[in-house]
């Protein structure tokens, strides 16, 4: 049985060089420019003779940092080991993998070897092979923040690392956490204390009760654990040092928390020696009576059972499954693109239904206001109107919706109805300076810049006459001369009198599904009658929860500890 362990992040830099040491004698360097997921990628390939691949270096690219850390080392390692670009792509990073494979193929052709067209994706190969069953004390399905937190917590609660196995259907770990670029909800942190901000579990509980649908017991468990998380993170080297708002945290003022958290979790997983098998998908439950006793899994054409004393399910939501969105969520949701990771296909939902697990709030979603149209990066600034502002315009240069509605399907569908199913966000230098997220996107070259509004209209290809009138009307409303036609509250300030001015092409995105398997305060799964299903635990977006990213880690930690308690 092939074990598809992840490449530790600490080794990524070495593997990205393709080989240790310097360039080999007689090796020729070929430089290829290919199109990556977010823009051009420049790749150097060292080749000896016509076909010996000595090294592969990514010189420049626009791929996301988490993908670079996780997928690049894997695909480069595969190519070097096989001495051909005709290798499996890394699932969840197929486009980036294809780009690198294409660059190597082009370099080989220049060297004198034509390997033919490379495949975009990988898939099952060969006839089905049935392999012997594997047994672990704890099986964790999903390697995102919830799953990794559960694994760490289980070890800290007394389970030996060798008795824990994480499986991940994609080729890289991290789940949706690897793309997280939002503010991290956190309470009673060291960062809060340093700026004199008092917080507590009791205060957090009162806040959560205002919007939560979770049981009182789950809310109490969540809020009581929240205030213990900062110390837990810091012991793993995860430092959330910047408070953006009252409870919204970042790693630093110029860095979101997601990457800091995920890197810290994965380093801890590696240091503990917990095994992770990637490209290993669970396709059915193993039930013994009413007990969840394991999973039936497959890796390419290899099929086998993994039995376990406890199974923790942390497979994420179903944002990337149009059929499930059509079945469960409000009309129109499935039309929107998703900012969630490609593996969020809700594979467990039909299994929960099949085996009598209780599902709840399957209609609930989070539709994020703005995502860069040609990528996956979330953009916009939900607090900006307090100091700075922006407008949305369509191809005709006209506003069409209330920009201040930060979340919601209705506004997402307003954008979807526009020509091209997208629109332009218009703002000035004040927004660039104020918002880390927007400023970062401008620095990355994802936006359009002009010295005048007229020039900006020409650059983005909207009706110039309408656009200039739209901007003037907005400025007049901000000055109190006229009423704003779309907002209940008047704009906070006009655009700067002098440029530069900016535009980002955006869409709305379904960011999370909130419904899922119903669990109690100990992260134990419940059946349709509300009884605990022995051996079954869940955390993260796969569960029915009104909470967010932080709760995935909280209930992952709770699940790992509870599973350990139940089996030891």
- CATH value at residue 504: 3.90.700.10
pLDDT at 386: 57
**Judgement on whether residues 52 and 161 belong to the same structural domain of the protein:** no
Q: Rounded CA gap, 481 and 553, in Å?
A: 49
**Judgement on whether residues 269 and 346 belong to the same structural domain of the protein:** yes
**Judgement on whether residues 47 and 169 belong to the same structural domain of the protein:** no
| Residue 448 CA from chain centroid, whole number | 26
Q: Could you read off the pLDDT of 139-162 as tens digits, one per residue?
A: 999 999 999 999 999 999 999 999
**pTM surpassing 0.85?**
yes
Residue 10 resides in a domain: no
**Judgement on whether residues 327 and 376 belong to the same structural domain of the protein:** no
- Residue count (the chain): 568
Q: Quick one: tokens of 21?
A: 């040491």
**Judgement on whether residues 556 and 478 belong to the same structural domain of the protein:** no
Q: Helix, strand, or coil here: 511?
A: strand
For 57, residues 6+ apart whose C-beta sits below 8 A from its C-beta are 16, 17, 18, 43, 44, 45
**Judgement on whether residues 317 and 214 belong to the same structural domain of the protein:** yes
**Judgement on whether residues 205 and 303 belong to the same structural domain of the protein:** yes
Q: Helix, strand, or coil here: 380?
A: coil
Give the chain's domain count. 3
Q: Which residues constitute the domain of residue 83?
A: 27-111
Q: Helix, strand, or coil here: 493?
A: coil
**Judgement on whether residues 380 and 394 belong to the same structural domain of the protein:** yes
Contact (Cβ atoms closer than 8 angstroms) between residue 468 and residue 412: no
Q: In Å, how far are 40, 189, 210, 214, 514 from 219, measured between CA atoms?
A: 46, 19, 11, 6, 15
**Judgement on whether residues 153 and 77 belong to the same structural domain of the protein:** no
Torsion angle of the four alpha carbons 503, 504, 509, 514, in this order, in degrees rounded to the nearest 10: -80
**CATH number of the domain encompassing residue 332:** 3.50.50.60
Judge if the upstream peptide bond of residue 500 is cis by omega within 30 degrees of 0. yes
**Judgement on whether residues 503 and 546 belong to the same structural domain of the protein:** no
pLDDT under 70: residue ranges of the chain? 1-22, 122-125, 180-182, 381-387, 406-407
Contact (Cβ atoms closer than 8 angstroms) between residue 176 and residue 252: no
Phi, psi at residue 3, to the nearest 5°? -95, 120
Residue 14 resides in a domain: no
Q: Report DSSP state, residue 49.
A: T
Q: Could you read off the pLDDT of 489-517 as tens digits, one per residue?
A: 888 889 999 999 999 999 999 999 999 99
**Judgement on whether residues 358 and 371 belong to the same structural domain of the protein:** no
pLDDT at 307: 99
Phi, psi at residue 202, to the nearest 5°? -65, -45
């Amino acid at each position: 049985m092939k074990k598809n362990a992840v490449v530790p992040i600490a080794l990524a830099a070495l593997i990205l060089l393709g080989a240790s040491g310097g360039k080999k004698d007689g090796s020729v360097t070929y430089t290829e420019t290919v199109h990556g997921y977010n823009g051009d990628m420049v790749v150097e390939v060292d080749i000896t003779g016509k076909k010996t691949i000595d090294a592969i270096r990514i010189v420049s690219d626009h791929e996301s940092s988490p993908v670079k850390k996780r997928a690049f080392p894997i695909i480069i390692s595969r190519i070097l080991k096989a001495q051909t670009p005709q290798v499996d792509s890394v699932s969840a990073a197929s486009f980036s993998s294809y780009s690198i494979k294409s660059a190597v193929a082009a370099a080989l052709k220049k060297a004198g070897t034509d390997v033919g067209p490379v495949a975009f994706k990988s898939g099952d190969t060969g006839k089905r092979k049935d392999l012997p069953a594997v047994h672990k004390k704890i099986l964790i399905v999903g390697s995102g923040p919830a799953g990794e937190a559960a694994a760490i917590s289980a070890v800290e609660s007394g389970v030996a690392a060798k008795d824990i196995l994480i499986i991940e259907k994609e080729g890289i770990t991290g789940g949706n956490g690897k793309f997280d670029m939002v503010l991290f909800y956190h309470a009673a942190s060291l960062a809060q204390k340093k700026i004199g901000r008092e917080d507590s579990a009791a205060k957090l509980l009162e806040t959560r009760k205002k919007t939560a649908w979770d049981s009182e017991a789950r809310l109490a468990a969540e809020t009581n654990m929240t205030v213990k998380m900062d110390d837990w993170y810091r012991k793993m080297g995860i430092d959330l040092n910047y408070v953006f708002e009252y409870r919204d945290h970042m790693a630093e003022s110029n860095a979101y928390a997601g990457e800091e958290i995920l890197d810290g979790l994965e380093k801890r997983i590696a240091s503990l020696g917990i095994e992770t098998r990637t490209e290993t998908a669970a396709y059915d439950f193993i039930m013994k009576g009413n007990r969840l006793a394991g999973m039936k899994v497959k890796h390419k054409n290899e099929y086998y059972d993994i039995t376990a004393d406890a199974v923790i399910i942390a497979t994420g939501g179903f944002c990337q499954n149009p059929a499930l969105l059509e079945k469960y969520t409000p009309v129109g949701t499935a039309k929107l693109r998703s900012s969630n990771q490609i593996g969020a296909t809700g594979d467990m939902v039909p299994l929960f239904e099949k085996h009598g697990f209780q599902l709840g709030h399957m209609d609930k979603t989070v539709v994020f206001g703005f995502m860069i149209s040609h990528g996956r990066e979330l953009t916009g600034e939900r607090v900006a109107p307090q100091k700075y502002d922006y407008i949305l315009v369509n191809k005709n240069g006209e506003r069409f919706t209330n920009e201040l509605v930060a979340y919601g399907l209705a506004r997402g569908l307003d954008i979807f109805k526009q020509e091209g199913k997208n629109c332009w966000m218009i703002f000035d230098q004040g927004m660039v300076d104020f918002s880390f997220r927007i400023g970062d996107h401008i620095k990355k070259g994802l936006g359009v810049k002009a010295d005048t509004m007229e020039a900006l209209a020409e650059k983005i290809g909207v009706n110039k006459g309408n656009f200039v009138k739209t901007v003037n009307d907005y400025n007049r409303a901000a000055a109190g001369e006229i009423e704003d036609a779309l907002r209940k509250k008047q704009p906070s300030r006009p655009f700067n009198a002098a440029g530069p001015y900016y535009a980002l092409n955006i869409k709305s995105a379904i960011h999370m599904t909130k419904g899922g398997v119903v669990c109690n305060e100990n992260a134990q799964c419940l059946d349709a009658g509300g009884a605990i299903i022995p051996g079954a635990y869940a955390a993260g977006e796969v569960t029915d929860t009104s909470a967010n990213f932080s709760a995935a880690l909280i209930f992952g930690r709770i699940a790992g500890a509870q599973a350990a308690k139940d089996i030891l």
